[in-house]
Amino acid sequence: MFNLFPSSVLNSLSSLELEILRYIDNHKNEICDMPIQVLAKNTFVSTTTIIRLCRKLNLEGFSHLKFFIKNNALKSAAPPLSAQTFSVQKMIAEELSDIEKTSELLDESVIEKVADVMTQSSQIHFFAKGLTELALEYTARHLLSLSKHVTLYQDTHIAYIQSKNLSDKDIIFLASLSGETEQVVRVAQIARSRNATVITFSVNPTSSLAKLGNYNFQLINDAETTLDVDTKSRCQLMFILNILVKAFIHKSNKAITEKHNTHQ
């Protein structure tokens, strides 16, 4: 059952919540006919804890969890992917659709504002976990090649420490598909307390991370995951980041030109 959720979601779970999920995984057949009170008693937690776990798993509640388990049981009984009709064209259409839907949500004025902050900030910081980190790393390297002072945090402990040293002259980019990755949310909380400008990226616009961003960019990620691994695309994230970098370059060049004309 663990392979049904992306690593970003699993990383957001506490040790207690992981234990509950293991119990559910080991008793899938019984769970479908089990009242939430019985599950709470068997796992020595409250019903509120179970409901909170369901929401962290992007499920609406315990009934949705039961439906999710039954639905995936039916899927597992279906022929394996190699035996099914495989369509590259469908995969391409799904990915393009997600990018197009993501682009439709972009607000030009927000892009302009973020680019302005990037131009004025003394340093740009990046932090994410898992595969999402790779998209931020690409952008960090891109900005570094433009001689912008950039820091990419790969160690969570260092990210916690350094985020406490941020100020209103700093900007930090934080990404999590679920918007509930515990480490990323924590860094966002610290950064906001230090008055840094926080830019967030998540699929869920009402997630904990999205609510902490000074500016939040919503990612549409509806393409089906067809493998037993985290195959959720980060293309939408890369798309927005590239737009922001281009806007930043335009702003920087414009500022240089204006400064040059002033001194003539």
- Cα separation of 34 and 48, whole Å? 16
pLDDT at 86: 63
Residue 83 lies in a domain: no
Using a cut of 0.75, tell me whether the model's pTM lies above it. Answer: no
Q: What is the pLDDT of residues 126-146, one digit of tens each?
A: 999 988 999 999 999 999 998
pLDDT at 89 over 70: yes
Q: What percent of the chain has pLDDT over 90?
A: 56
Show the CA angle centred on residue 173, arms to residues 144 and 212, nearest 5°. 165
pLDDT at 188: 97
Strand partners, 126: 152, 173
Domain boundary among 77, 105, 125: 77
Check whether residue 183 and residue 145 sit in a common domain. yes
Q: What is the pLDDT of residues 10-54, one digit of tens each?
A: 888 888 999 999 899 889 888 888 999 999 999 999 999 999 998
What CATH number corresponds to the domain at position 61?
A: 1.10.10.10
- φ, ψ (nearest 5 deg) of residue 210: -60, -40
Which residue spans within the chain are E strands per DSSP? 123-127, 150-153, 170-175, 197-202, 215-218
- φ, ψ (nearest 5 deg) of residue 30: -70, -35
Domain boundary among 77, 106, 136: 77
Residue of 2 and 44 predicted with greater confidence: 44
